[in-house]
Amino acid sequence: MSNDTVFRRRISPTERLYFSTRDLAPPFLMQLVVHGNGGLDPAELRRAVTVASAANPGSRLVRDGDDWVDSGTAAAVRVVAGASLNYPALEDDPILNSPIGPTPERTCEVLLLTGDPVTIVFRVFHGVMDGMGVRMWVSDIFRVLQGQEPLGAADPIADADIVARIGAPGKPTLVLPVYPSAAGCGRQDRAASHWLLRNRTIPVTGKGTVARVAAILAAQAETKCRIMIPVDLRRHAPEIRTTANLALPLFIDMRPGDDWRGINADKRSGLQANRELNQLDNGGLAKLPPFVVRGILRAANWLGARLDLNIVSATVSYMGRFELDEVSAPGFTATAVRGLPQHTGIMPLLFGIVEYDGQTDITVSCRNGEGVEARLESLLDRIASTLEHDLSNATL
């Protein structure tokens, strides 16, 4: 691994924090799910993963000290015969909660579930990729399955490199644990899952989904809230092709009654000012020893779970629009795409939003606690009904 010709890049401050977060909320994976009709030959899927991973070496990374280095070995493809996902209570699904294999140092994995519906789950440790990186890798796997050449993403660049190139225009946002969750809080039961993972699919798409969800969260919380929106730094360097973590947070404050259009305008203003570039290693946690970081994260989780005091009310992440043909293959026709956000421990709510075939899919990781499940289900019902009504009318 010391060979200079091997793909290697520095572990960024953001990624360094994710090792501690994984200790608090294992397995700390982003998981992209594709449901479909038909079937896939496991050998063909393994071949496609091998070819696409060679073109996207960020999917083959293992840790080597302070660096990520290409192991040269593609993500394992594991076939789980007759299995399907455990809806609606995904937090209890043994497949989604299992560690990546076959060895602990691996960072990506592909699961083929042959139950009804046939399902492919792409599993990635957030320390090596962001959501767009996952999408780039997955898209190349399907390109290979469709008989095309992968586009590839082999630039050894992460968020710290982009910020160093462009520079930060101002100071980091002051981050304090003072914001409530729209799902409230409650004492956590040691015998129950500390995180919930729930889903809604809405038969309509439209503009401003992130801002619309944010406005609903503020209305539900009935007090000042703050959301965090991950911003893809690739917008600053479109010539770069990398699967690495190139997402930094944009913070938006809001109050009950704020119109989604105003929230959307605040988001656009933040993007125009490049405010996300200020947030690399906000608070300096990455400079602290890992045991100190883990202690801080556990304290933040306790404050949120017991007192409803959080550094943000929610993270709302949009992974874009998929064409179902894009994630289909000979013999396998995709019917749904779902982005499952990782549990973090320090965020009370983390929404993953994707669009496909005229539908909006929302999956949320939520810190669990006494009374939280019922409040979360009510919140998701409110989000689904409000979005369906407003987006349907907006298209008239």
User: Which pLDDT value is given to residue 3?
Assistant: 45
Residue 82 is assigned to a structural domain of this protein: yes
Domain identity same for 49 and 112: yes
pLDDT attached to residue 2: 41
Average model confidence (pLDDT) across the chain: 94
Q: Strands 314-322 and 349-356, how do they pair?
A: parallel
Of 154, 185, 209, which one is at a domain's C-terminal end?
Answer: 154
205 and 64 inside one domain: no
Structural domain span for residue 93: 8-154
Same domain, 97 and 215: no
**pLDDT at residue 345, as a whole number:** 78
Q: Are residues 94 and 228 in the same domain?
A: no
Task: State the pLDDT at residue 395.
Answer: 55
CA distance 136 to 53: 11
User: For the chain, what is the domain count?
Assistant: 2
CATH number at residue 75: 3.30.559.10
Q: Is residue 167 part of a domain?
A: no
pLDDT confidence tier of residue 5, bands split at 50, 70 and 90 = low
228-to-48, 127, 310, 383 alpha-carbon distances in Å: 35, 19, 12, 18
Is 1 within a domain? no
Mean of pLDDT values over 74-97: 95
Question: For residue 284, what pLDDT is reported?
Answer: 80
Burial class of residue 67 (count of CB atoms within 10 Å of its CB; 0-12, 13-18, 19+): middle
pLDDT: is 63 or 5 the higher one?
A: 63
Q: How many other β-carbons are positioned within 10 Å of the β-carbon of residue 204?
A: 17
- Segment 373-381 shows an average pLDDT of 98
pLDDT at 101: 86
Q: Each residue of 217-233: pLDDT tens digit?
A: 999 999 999 999 999 99
CATH number at residue 376: 3.30.559.30
pLDDT higher than threshold 90 for residue 285: no
Report yes or no on 98 lying in a domain: yes
- Same domain? For 179 and 142 the reply is no
DSSP state at residue 172: P
Label residue 1 by pLDDT band (50, 70, 90).
very low
Are 147 and 181 found together in one domain?
A: no
What pLDDT, on a 0 to 100 scale, did the predictor assign at position 160? 93
- For residues 65 and 112, state if they share a domain: yes
Same domain, 44 and 142: yes
Chain mean position to CA 238: 21
pLDDT in tens, 139-197: 999 999 999 999 999 999 999 999 999 999 999 999 999 999 999 999 999 888 899 99
Alpha carbons 360 and 303: distance in angstroms, whole number: 32
Question: Of 99, 122, 154, which one is at a domain's C-terminal end?
Answer: 154
Q: What is the pTM of this model?
A: 0.95
Residue 137 lies in a domain: yes
Q: How far is the C-alpha of 260 from the C-alpha of 265, rounded, in Å?
A: 9
- Average confidence (pLDDT) over 13-23: 90
Lowest mean pLDDT among 62-66, 132-136, 167-171, 251-255: 167-171
Q: Is residue 163 part of a domain?
A: no
The answer on 276 and 210 residing in a single domain is yes
Assess if residue 338 is contained within a domain. no
Residues 139 and 188 in one domain: no
Q: 22 with 58, same domain?
A: yes
Please tell me the least confidently modeled range out of 9-18, 52-61, 74-83, 137-146. Answer: 9-18
Whether 139 and 197 share a structural domain? no
Domain boundary among 90, 119, 154: 154
**Which pair of structure tokens corresponds to residue 135?**
């999408």
Q: Which amino acid is at 196?
A: L
